[in-house]
Amino acid sequence: MVKKESFVKGTLILAAAALVARVLGLAQRVPLEHMLGDVGNASFTISNNIYLMLLTVATAGIPSTLSKMVSERYALEKPHEAQRIYHAALIFSAVIGVIMTVLLYVWAPYYARSTKTPEAAFAIRTLAPALLLFPTIAMMRGYFQGRNNMMAGGISQIVEQVARVGTAIVLAYVLLRTGSDDSTVAAGASFGGVLGSIGAFGVMLYFTLKMRKQDRGLHLQEGQDSPIPMLRIYKDIFTLSIPIVLTSLAVPAVNFIDSTIIKGLLIGQSGDAYATQVLGIMGSRAQPVAGIPPILAIALSTSLIPIISAAFARRDQVYLKQQITLAMRIAILTGMPMVVALCAASYSVNGLLFSSLDGSGIIMLLTLGTIFQITMMTSNSILLGLSKARVSMVHVMAGILVKLAASYILAPFFGVYGIIAATGVCFLVITLLNVRLLKVIVPFSILGARWVSFLITVIVSGGVGYGLNQAGIQLVHVMPARLAYLITCLIVGAVVVIIYLVMLIVLGVLREHELASYPRMLQKVFKPLMRLQPKRIRNYEKG
């Protein structure tokens, strides 16, 4: 019972830390977008996408792999082996940190020029020192997780984001007030990543000293067997972690690709000034807004992954089918209303949060494709739970290749909208490949014959929301613009969610007998609405 409570507590701590970090990351973009011009926003977009991609490499896969190796050794009462694995990991992280920092610093001007934004070199170089500590922080988090101490990693993650976001905003503001140019202000904002890594490292050092005091009474005697060779340790770490890392890179890699190719593909059509503006809009407006819908959907669906892993281990095909269906269904049903509301109110959201109304169409289209990002991430998580990380990695790599090819094919015809459409296609391809494999493992259906009713629900709620948005923005003629946009966003969001929920029930997309398997939070939302469901649907279910 203690172990179960400890596991649940640890999971909640890490989930809360990830949520706080995600929200802070999104919140950072709004003030920076107001402070930076087109060149500054483009420069910060490029450096920030590099940061997020490298952060994913450092935090996805390697900590969990090291955690597994350390926890196994302690469970077998071989703490000396766990310590040797940890020391080997720290040596590697220190070396790779120096190499990555030097390479990024040297490579920055060449990469910036390849993106047609040479001004971004300063921002990238300012970020480079953060890589000295990222790998070591990742190894330390993995070790503490292996020792069943989730608090250390969770607090360090929150401190990292607070320090990064706070430094970025304050330093950008100070530089702006002192008359610095746009690229220098962007570099100041990028420097937040360095302070974030220092803050996280400080937290991990504190917990390291604390754990050493606790371990002081333990005598870690060397065992009778010869020490584990370093090469074997590194082989085990990378064999397990590389597929997870590459799978987790899907979204950061797509954003990195966009910041790399957008200007090159658009300059010939629209000129340098417009291409720079579009790159800034993508990174400072569209990507943060499009990052909102996955938060709840992924949190709800991935909470089922340990259950799916356990069912797979027991070879309980019936329960496995039920849980996979539930995870995919929850991801889609909870993610879609946010996607619809943000798309319908994209013009008002843009006016409310940012410095101009430019790029509302870009925000809308990128957010629309988020539903495929949600299904991709959920199905990736399920495959990881089923020990299919390598196959999931292959699917992600295939999707990335589709993204690149589609961007170059569509951009000449549709400009930036072609590049955004290529992103949606990428996520859709990965989803379809994942679902096809999952159906081989266990046959299941997400919505079955209810897809038509679901699509009607989406179209109607989206249409009503768009109509309300068009009416609401007329309020700018009678009150301050931001207040008008705020009121419009609140009305559109509330009405879309209400219509969406009611239609899910009325059209029978959701059935009463299924509610028992849903998370308790969703049961509380849906159960009172079930009285709206027509009797013919309820009678059909009973029959």
pLDDT over 90 (residue 122): yes
Q: Confidence band (pLDDT; 50, 70, 90) for 300? A: low
* Of 136 and 145, the one with more pLDDT: 136
SS3 288: helix
Question: Mean pLDDT throughout 508-519?
Answer: 76
Spatial CB neighbours of 35, under 8 Å, sequence gap ≥ 6:
172, 173, 176, 185
CA gap 535, 131 in Å, rounded: 61
Would you say 185 and 40 are in contact if contact means Cβ atoms under 8 Å apart?
yes
Q: Closest Cα partner for 424 from 343, 496, 493?
A: 343
CA gap 432, 446 in Å, rounded: 13
pLDDT at residue 332, rounded to an integer: 92
Question: Mean pLDDT throughout 440-458?
Answer: 91
Q: How many CB atoms lie within 10 A of CB 234?
A: 15
Question: Mean pLDDT throughout 480-494?
Answer: 96
Share of the chain above pLDDT 90, in %: 50
305-319, 364-378, 392-406, 485-499: which has the minimum mean pLDDT? 305-319
pLDDT over 80 (residue 303): no
| Residues composing the chain | 543
SS3 189: helix
Would you say 197 and 162 are in contact if contact means Cβ atoms under 8 Å apart?
no
pLDDT at residue 319, rounded to an integer: 85
- Helices assigned H by DSSP within 128-191: 134-146, 150-177, 182-190
- How many Cα atoms within 13 Å fall on the side-chain side of residue 263? 27
pLDDT over 80 (residue 62): no
3-state helix, strand, coil in the chain (%, to 5): 85, 0, 15
Q: Closest Cα partner for 437 from 397, 380, 369?
A: 380
138-147, 170-179, 492-501: which has the minimum mean pLDDT? 138-147
Q: Closest Cα partner for 435 from 444, 422, 426?
A: 444
Residue 178: both structure tokens together: 């002192």
Question: Mean pLDDT throughout 112-137?
Answer: 92
The Cα angle at residue 290 between residues 476 and 374, in degrees rounded to 5: 140
pLDDT at residue 299, rounded to an integer: 67
CA gap 338, 341 in Å, rounded: 5
168-172, 234-238, 431-435: which has the minimum mean pLDDT? 234-238
Look at the alpha carbons of 493, 498, 503, 508 in this order and tell me if their dihedral is positive or negative: positive
What Rg, from alpha-carbon coordinates, does the chain have? Answer: 24
Q: Confidence band (pLDDT; 50, 70, 90) for 182? A: very high
Q: Confidence band (pLDDT; 50, 70, 90) for 6? A: very low
Tens-digit pLDDT profile for residues 415-432: 999 999 999 999 999 999
Q: Closest Cα partner for 55 from 270, 252, 205?
A: 252
Would you say 241 and 93 are in contact if contact means Cβ atoms under 8 Å apart?
no
CA gap 42, 37 in Å, rounded: 8
Q: Confidence band (pLDDT; 50, 70, 90) for 60? A: low
Would you say 71 and 142 are in contact if contact means Cβ atoms under 8 Å apart?
no
Question: Mean pLDDT throughout 384-408?
Answer: 92
Q: Confidence band (pLDDT; 50, 70, 90) for 537? A: low
- State which amino acid sits at residue 475: L
SS3 444: coil
Q: How many CB atoms lie within 10 A of CB 275?
A: 24
Neighbour-count burial of 476, counting CB atoms closer than 10 A to its CB (0-12 exposed, 13-18 middle, 19+ buried): middle
Would you say 138 and 90 are in contact if contact means Cβ atoms under 8 Å apart?
no
Domains of the chain, by residue range, sit at 1-215+229-248
Query: Following DSSP, what letter does each residue of 51-67 receive, concatenated?
Result: HHHHHHHHHSSHHHHHH
Spatial CB neighbours of 345, under 8 Å, sequence gap ≥ 6:
465, 469, 488, 489, 492, 493
Neighbour-count burial of 184, counting CB atoms closer than 10 A to its CB (0-12 exposed, 13-18 middle, 19+ buried): buried
Q: How many CB atoms lie within 10 A of CB 288?
A: 19
pLDDT at residue 226, rounded to an integer: 59
Q: Confidence band (pLDDT; 50, 70, 90) for 539? A: low
Q: Closest Cα partner for 261 from 448, 377, 111?
A: 111
- State which amino acid sits at residue 325: T
pLDDT at residue 4, rounded to an integer: 43
Q: Confidence band (pLDDT; 50, 70, 90) for 5? A: very low
Q: Rounded to two decimals, what is the model's pTM?
A: 0.85
Residue 360: both structure tokens together: 């509302």
47-51, 116-120, 182-186, 477-481: which has the minimum mean pLDDT? 47-51
pLDDT over 50 (residue 1): no
* Of 173 and 513, the one with more pLDDT: 173
Q: Confidence band (pLDDT; 50, 70, 90) for 402? A: very high
pLDDT at residue 143, rounded to an integer: 87
**Cα-to-chain-centroid distance, residue 150:** 20
pLDDT at residue 2, rounded to an integer: 39
